[in-house]
Amino acid sequence: MGKQLSHSKFLIKIKNLSKSYYNDINFVEEYKAMNEPILAIYKYGLIRIIPRKLLLKLKNNNEFTSTIMSAINKTTYCLSYMKDIRNDSCLYYDYSKFIYNGSTKKSIFICPIHGEFLSTPTIHYGNGGCPKCKYEVMAGENNPYYNHDKTDEERRNYRKCIGYKKWKKLVYEKYNYTCEICGNSYKASLNAHHKDGYNWCKERRIDLTNGVILCDNCHNGFHKIYGYGNNTEKQWEEYKITINKLAVL
């Protein structure tokens, strides 16, 4: 049945599923069969697609994944995509060390101020830039969750409850100094995260089951969605499910 489909009818199928994709793709080769690869030029680079897989991805609204895995040069393709999505903000970074290994796999990005940092394409094109730049912008009174009623002494003693340092060390050891979300084991970028927030759940502040290790990017990603303070273990479980779904795309 697939072999009887003409090239023009194949194009109609694409158009019916995604008009934007149809307008942005130019086939170098003619359609022959559903499982026979075709060379095409998409707006982010040269791709070799399998018609059956392409139609399935478009049907499920996965336009990016339908082409990135088919790209002849995945790194160049992904860079073009990120620059298109992020517009001028991408021109700020140096991508000379970036290598695409998957949408949720870490690679090196270079900030002109703070130097190299690790991030994933998914986080980066979602406006997840340099974590140190973000911290500086959000530090102190610039943070929307800044509590003006706290004294300087309260801020200094915020995480000085008895057993906190030991708890933090045990959490790192429990997760083998590895981010629970992406597997990053670069120690300088790891954080001991409380599932039920430190600020409100006093009884679980040093409960080992209430801790998990996250790298800077995954930690920032969580708080970008759920905010800072009053976080819950339910939010943590939702976040894990969301990231796991993205990882299979």
- pLDDT at residue 131 is higher than 50: yes
Mean pLDDT of 45-73: 79
| 17-43 tens-digit pLDDT | 888 878 888 899 999 899 999 999 988
Distance of alpha carbon 103 from its chain centroid, rounded?
7
pTM of the model: 0.49
Separation between Cα atoms, residue 125 and residue 170, nearest integer Å: 34
Query: Of 244 and 195, which is predicted with more confidence?
Result: 195
Confidence (pLDDT) at 2:
42
Residue position matching structure tokens 């489909």: 5
Separation between Cα atoms, residue 89 and residue 132, nearest integer Å: 16
- pLDDT at residue 195 is higher than 80: yes
Domain spans of the chain?
2-72, 76-131, 151-247
Q: Which of 27, 37, 31 is nearest to 6 (CA)?
A: 31
Mean pLDDT of 90-118: 88
* Phi and psi, residue 102, nearest 5°: 145, 155
Confidence (pLDDT) at 149:
59
Confidence (pLDDT) at 19:
85
Percent of the chain's residues with pLDDT above 70: 84
The chain-wide mean pLDDT, for the chain, equals 83
